Amino acid sequence: MSINRQYTDEFKAEAVKQVLERGFPVVDVATRIGLPKHTLYGWVQGAKKAARSASEGPAVAMSDSAEIRRLKAELRRVTEERDILKKAAAYFARG
């Protein structure tokens, strides 16, 4: 016979925090708080997936592409300056 229990978001967050942040094994935490280990495994995996998707959101991709464009433009400018200095050094060395 299966019993459906409802757990509060705060309870879930604290259980996941014990595993992810404090480094306790899932089995130990589940046993200590009276929770099936597979339930806690699911919560931990969900939290990891949510953290991954939040860190790889579109805002990050947009700022990364803007940073890449800025760095490429700076690289072109610095390369041109280097080439000009090379030519000037060669000219004065002939002198």
pLDDT tens digit at each of 95 positions of the chain: 456 778 889 999 999 999 999 989 999 999 999 999 999 999 999 999 988 877 666 665 667 888 899 999 999 999 999 999 999 998 888 87
Q: How far apart are CA 43 and CA 36, in angstroms?
A: 11
Shared domain check, 37 and 67: no
Shared domain check, 51 and 18: yes
Shared domain check, 92 and 64: yes
Task: Establish how many alpha carbons lie within 13 A of residue 73's alpha carbon, considering only the half-sphere containing its beta carbon.
Answer: 6
Shared domain check, 76 and 50: no
Q: How far apart are CA 79 and CA 84, in angstroms?
A: 9
Q: Residue 94 falls within a domain, yes or no?
A: yes
Residue 17's domain spans which residues? 7-56
Q: Residue 69 falls within a domain, yes or no?
A: yes
Shared domain check, 89 and 71: yes
pTM above 0.75, yes or no: no
Q: How far apart are CA 41 and CA 24, in angstroms?
A: 12
Shared domain check, 52 and 11: yes
Terminal alpha carbon distance of the chain: 97
Shared domain check, 64 and 52: no
Domain count, the chain: 2
Shared domain check, 43 and 71: no
